[in-house]
Chains A and B, each alone.
Chain A
């Protein structure tokens, strides 16, 4: 099946710094989503981005489907950005179930 790899696994930032999280996937995909999981376990939708570039406030994402990777950019990080960021893809041949990476754990220090 399709493999999803996220890097880095852990990231510590000072408040105000910028960061880039990467997601590599091993095959063609019908969907790619970025999520932020808060300390209570809730998965919050950040982007639905099977291809192209999107921006939402301080966050933006780019997916290059032909090269099988996606990037999540966080600018001017805040302590509330802390948590785990997951990339998830839908295998082109599946019924739509998401395959998740292991996540990037982000800690933003004041």
Chain B
């Protein structure tokens, strides 16, 4: 079991650019979650997939954010027209069928200059 992986680990971009992050969950985990963590705070929920269906989105997920999980495997999170306020750690987690226990990836740290 290789754990949840995320790429890239770090991303520096200029304001107004688009960025895309990838998350590969633990194999056979059908649920996948995205969270955002800013300095000094706990992670905050962004969105949730069960298999390929996006079942819940937080109010934090503005129109500039979109997430996909084609074929219920890896997921991508895209931010369009980045703003400095988007600078944060973006965390992905997955959980197996029948369990609420979540396992987190190492995160992607985004810096918008």
Residues of A within 8 A of B (CB): 4, 30-31, 33, 35, 40-43, 45, 48, 50, 86, 88, 90, 94-103
Q: Which of A4, A42, A97, A101 contacts B45 (CB 8 A)?
A: A97
Distance in angstroms from A8 CB to nearest chain B CB is 15
Say yes or no: A97-B106 contact (C-beta < 8 A), given A31-B100, A88-B42: no
Contacting residues, chain A, for B100 (C-beta < 8 A): 30-31, 48, 50, 90, 96
Interchain CB contact under 8 A, A41 and B89: yes
Distance in angstroms from A108 CB to nearest chain B CB is 20
Contacting residues, chain A, for B55 (C-beta < 8 A): 95
Interchain CB contact under 8 A, A43 and B95: no
Q: Which of A43, A50, A94, A96 contacts B104 (CB 8 A)?
A: A43
Q: Per-residue CB proximity of B84-113 to A under 8 Å, as 1/0?
A: 000001010101000011111011010000
Chain B residues bordering chain A, tally (CB within 8 A): 27
Q: State in angstroms the CA–CA spacing of A80 and B91 once bound together.
A: 23
Chain B binding site: helix, strand, loop or mixed by DSSP?
strand
Q: State in angstroms the CA–CA spacing of A100 and B89 once bound together.
A: 15
Tell me whether B21 is interfacial, beta carbon within 8 Å.
no
Interchain CB contact under 8 A, B109 and A41: yes
Interchain CB contact under 8 A, A100 and B106: no
Interchain CB contact under 8 A, A96 and B42: no
Interchain CB contact under 8 A, B89 and A98: no
Interchain CB contact under 8 A, B56 and A97: yes
